[in-house]
């Protein structure tokens, strides 16, 4: 159940859609997120009314093609899985949206099952006190 926020400078709806597909496809391929588990907020910034700031931190030269990808998901991935995810997002963002891999900035925020309500005011991943068995697992 990842929640994804993508912010891109100078992005129209077509580029935002391509970036959203790139991130989702990478999540499905690298860490086994179910294909129908897509929750995204895609925001384009025009550089005037809203913008993104960046520098060349750690020697990575970024430019106006910058894309910030913030992913919140339940904890449990290994460092190797995270590295694969970052790499695949950068590859697919380049393939689908023409975004240079150096311009793809990704952060992961992990939390626990009780931190999610998927609707109806219910924490679906948490068992009620009278239920038996482990909480449901849905690929993430």
Give the model's confidence band at 127: pLDDT under 50 very low, under 70 low, under 90 confident, else very high: confident
What are the E-state strand segments in the chain?
3-9, 40-45, 67-74, 104-111
Point out which residues pair with 64 in neighbouring strands.
none
pLDDT digits (tens, 9 = 90+) for 37-55: 999 999 999 988 899 999 9
Q: Is it the case that residue 61 has pLDDT exceeding 80?
A: yes
CB atoms within 10 A of CB 104: 27
pTM of the model: 0.88
Mean pLDDT of 67-73: 97
Q: Which of 2, 34, 101, 135 is catalytic?
A: 2
| CATH of region 3-113, choose from 1.10.357.10, 3.10.100.10, 3.30.429.10, 3.40.50.620 | 3.30.429.10
Mean pLDDT of the chain: 91
2 part of the active site:
yes
- Residue with structure tokens 């550089």? 47
* DSSP-derived 3-state class of residue 122: coil
Beta strand 67-74 pairing with 40-45: unpaired
Contact criterion met (CB below 8 Å) for 10 and 47:
yes
Instruction: Write down the pLDDT at residue 138.
Output: 52
Whole-number Å distance between alpha carbons of 4 and 22 = 12
CB atoms within 10 A of CB 60: 13
Q: Is it the case that residue 129 has pLDDT exceeding 90?
A: no
- Residue with structure tokens 């910034």? 45
H or E, element range at 17: helix 13-31
H or E, element range at 139: none
Instruction: Write down the pLDDT at residue 81.
Output: 97
């Amino acid at each position: 159940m990842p929640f994804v926020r993508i912010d891109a400078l100078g992005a129209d709806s077509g580029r935002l859609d391509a970036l959203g597909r790139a991130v989702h496809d990478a999540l499905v391929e690298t860490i086994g997120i179910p294909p129908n588990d897509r929750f995204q907020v895609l925001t384009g910034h025009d550089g005037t009314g809203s913008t993104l700031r960046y520098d060349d931190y750690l020697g990575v030269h970024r430019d106006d093609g910058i894309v910030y990808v913030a992913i919140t998901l339940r904890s449990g991935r290994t460092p190797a899985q995270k590295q694969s995810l970052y790499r695949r997002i950068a590859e697919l963002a380049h393939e689908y949206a023409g975004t240079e891999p150096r311009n793809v900035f990704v952060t992961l925020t992990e939390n626990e099952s009780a931190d999610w309500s998927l609707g109806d005011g219910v924490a679906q991943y948490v068992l009620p006190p009278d239920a038996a068995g482990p909480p449901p697992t849905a690929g993430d």
